[in-house]
Amino acid sequence: MITKWTTELRYLPYNDWSDNQIIAIKKKISLSHWRLGYHIQPTTGLLNDPNGFSYFNGQWHLFYQSFPYGPVHGLKNWTHLTSNDLVHWQDHGPLLLPGDKQDSHGAYSGSAIPIDNKLFLMYTGNVRDKQWVRHPKQDGAWLNCDNQIQKISTPLIEQPQKGFTDHFRDPQILYNAGKYYCLIGARKKDNTGHVLVYQADSVTGPWKYQTELKFTDQKMGYMIECPNLVFVDGRPVLIFCPQGIHQNVLKHANIYPNAYVIGKDFDWDTFSFVEPTEIRNLDDGFDVYATEGFNAPDGRTLAVSWIGLPDTTYPSDVEGWANCYSLVKELSIKDNQLYQKPVVENNRLVDEEINSKEIAPQTKISAKVKANTSGEIVIKTEFDEELQVAIDATNGKILVDRTNAGISFAKDYGTTRLSKVDAGKDISIDLYLDNTVFEIYINGGLRVITGRIFPKGKRFFVESDNVSFQKVKLDKIY
Ligand code: FRU
């Protein structure tokens, strides 16, 4: 097994790897202690951003940024997943492969849009020269109905806009009133983060720079990654990752936040949000980043998040894999607040009610704490490791503590997270546990706390105090 991941190894062309590398990782993973039951996880190696989330040819499509040869960031491809129900996913393996002139050092993040009988993919080609200087290209590719890829060898956007640095990536393609648009995350030469808007009459170009997306007057850190504009009941929501954003602008606990802003309306002539809200955290937990959303043809606004963070290592690295995705979530807006809820199709996972203290590693716990009381749920293992969820319905606070939940990691960023809701009201939670990942949906998805845990234990037990709750076993899909 490789213990020192040099730059050379990370960027070794795929053809130069022997099959044994993947065989060895698969063997390790087959003995894994921390694999998941019903969350999307990489077959081997590292998974990061969701890409190309779309509905095409009668199926849901989703790709993951993947480095298959080890649990590190290296030469990335898009690995293809399809689903009939947004819950059960089939992994078809790496599909959009790096290594051509326009994507020599990685097929980086992007999005997809169906056009006639094909799916158009727009992505960032990470290109580096001999001096290791980046030359980001915005590239295109077509997926046909047989799930075959054909890349477009000439970049759609050859270089960053004047005044911007080589941090220029993650195109989101959009269609409105007969025209195509794309949003690109960018870092200006003055080290500020922005979202740039391009427009084209045809997806293959020419793509023309329009302006910066206007959604705030405040400084968005030094770089914005993974911008996504979606519409919820006609209202614009920008989901994005403002790296280095000041704590005064967005109080956040993780190394990098995943944020959102809602507008009252969107002006397509000036690319501005009308009456934007303040910038908010999408998730109050430990590990969410790079969420990708899109407006599905069935009218729903769907999103899926990477549960993992850049520049962070995870205990599962020793097993040859890293990271996973959230459940697919449906977005809605109520009282100017964004709600995220696992799509209704997740009910298909429900197997049977659990009446014992011991629960399955794949369990959904639905709990309620009455107004002006406090309650607690503790998930324990046979080694007394514990994940605590303290619910204070007097002050409207939900505190999640993973301090003693197993092997600690990313602890420089703290081991507790707090969510706030209205004081003096009932609080309800739906906690999805899947061995080493948990997603806690509070008050119907008004707040979400997501995170990983890496216990030594294999058996899980629930203890509770002053909560009424129900536990159901979720069936395995992998
Ligand atoms: C975010 C990100 C993107 C980039 C991709 C590379 O996690 O850094 O900006 O396109 O990952 O894998």
Query: Which among 287, 307, 342 is the end of a domain?
Result: 342
The answer on 170 and 37 residing in a single domain is yes
- Taking residues 147-175, report their average pLDDT: 98
The answer on 354 and 210 residing in a single domain is no
Q: How far is the CA of 49 from the centre of ligand 1 (A)?
A: 6
Nearest-atom number in ligand 1 for the CA of 109 is 10
In a domain, residue 2? The reply is no
The answer on 372 and 337 residing in a single domain is no
Greatest Cα pair distance in the chain: 64
Q: Which of 46, 48, 311 to mutate to test the pocket of ligand 1 (most atoms within 8 A of CB)?
A: 48
Q: Is the CB of 65 under 6 A from ligand 1?
A: yes
Q: How far is the CA of 48 from the centre of ligand 1 (A)?
A: 7
DSSP state for residue 202 in the 8-state scheme = S
Q: What is the mean pLDDT of the chain?
A: 97
Give 385's contacts (C-beta < 8 A, 6+ positions apart): 404, 405, 406, 453, 455, 456, 457
Q: What percentage of the chain carries pLDDT values higher than 90?
A: 96
Give 299's contacts (C-beta < 8 A, 6+ positions apart): none
Nearest-atom number in ligand 1 for the CA of 170 is 10
> What pLDDT is recorded for position 476?
65
Q: Look up 49 and say whether it is catalytic.
A: yes
In a domain, residue 49? The reply is yes
Give 429's contacts (C-beta < 8 A, 6+ positions apart): 365, 366, 367, 368, 377, 389, 391, 398, 440, 441, 442, 443
**3-state SS class at 317:** helix
- Tokens standing for residue 293: 């959303």
Q: Is the CB of 75 under 6 A from ligand 1?
A: no
Instruction: Round to whole Å and give the CA distance between 228 and 244.
Output: 18
Smallest Cα–Cα separation from 47: which of 417, 341, 316, 447?
316
Range of the domain at 355: 350-474
The answer on 263 and 395 residing in a single domain is no
> What pLDDT is recorded for position 469?
86
Q: Is the CB of 434 under 6 A from ligand 1?
A: no
The answer on 375 and 314 residing in a single domain is no
446, 422 contact by CB (below 8 A) = no
371, 422 contact by CB (below 8 A) = no
| 478: pLDDT strictly greater than 80 | no
**pLDDT digit string, tens, across residues 81-120:** 999 999 999 999 999 999 999 999 999 999 999 999 999 9
Sheet strands side by side (includes 208-212): 164-176, 179-188, 193-200, 208-212
- Taking residues 8-16, report their average pLDDT: 97
* Nearest CA residue ID for atom 9, ligand 1: 225
Q: How far is the CA of 159 from the centre of ligand 1 (A)?
A: 17
Q: Which of 10, 72, 75, 108 to mutate to test the pocket of ligand 1 (most atoms within 8 A of CB)?
A: 108
The answer on 30 and 96 residing in a single domain is yes
Q: What is the dihedral of CA 353, 359, 283, 337, to 10 degrees?
A: 20
In a domain, residue 130? The reply is yes
State the catalytic residue, choosing from 49, 139, 284, 287: 49
Q: Is the CB of 225 under 6 A from ligand 1?
A: yes
* Nearest CA residue ID for atom 12, ligand 1: 108
Query: Which among 309, 342, 375 is the end of a domain?
Result: 342
Q: How many CA atoms lie within 13 A of 23 on its CB side?
A: 4
The answer on 368 and 329 residing in a single domain is no
- Tokens standing for residue 465: 């105090």
The answer on 334 and 356 residing in a single domain is no
Q: Among 146-160, 259-273, 350-364, which stretch is predicted with the lowest mean pLDDT?
A: 350-364
Instruction: Round to whole Å and give the CA distance between 362 and 327.
Output: 13
The answer on 174 and 258 residing in a single domain is yes
In a domain, residue 1? The reply is no
For residue 433, report the phi and psi dihedrals to the nearest 5 degrees.
-105, 135
In a domain, residue 288? The reply is yes
Q: Among 62-76, 238-252, 326-340, 346-360, which stretch is predicted with the lowest mean pLDDT?
A: 346-360
Q: pLDDT confidence of 397, banded at 50, 70, 90?
A: very high
**CATH code for the domain of 294:** 2.115.10.20
| 124: pLDDT strictly greater than 50 | yes
Nearest-atom number in ligand 1 for the CA of 65 is 12
Q: Is the CB of 109 under 6 A from ligand 1?
A: yes
Structurally, the chain folds into a number of domains equal to: 2
Q: How far is the CA of 169 from the centre of ligand 1 (A)?
A: 8
**CATH code for the domain of 386:** 2.60.120.560
Q: Is the CB of 180 under 6 A from ligand 1?
A: no
**pLDDT digit string, tens, across residues 398-453:** 999 999 999 999 999 999 999 999 999 999 999 999 999 999 999 999 999 999 99
**3-state SS class at 169:** strand
The answer on 326 and 426 residing in a single domain is no
Query: Which among 302, 320, 342 is the end of a domain?
Result: 342
The answer on 360 and 314 residing in a single domain is no
Beta strands in 221-258 (DSSP E): 223-232, 235-243
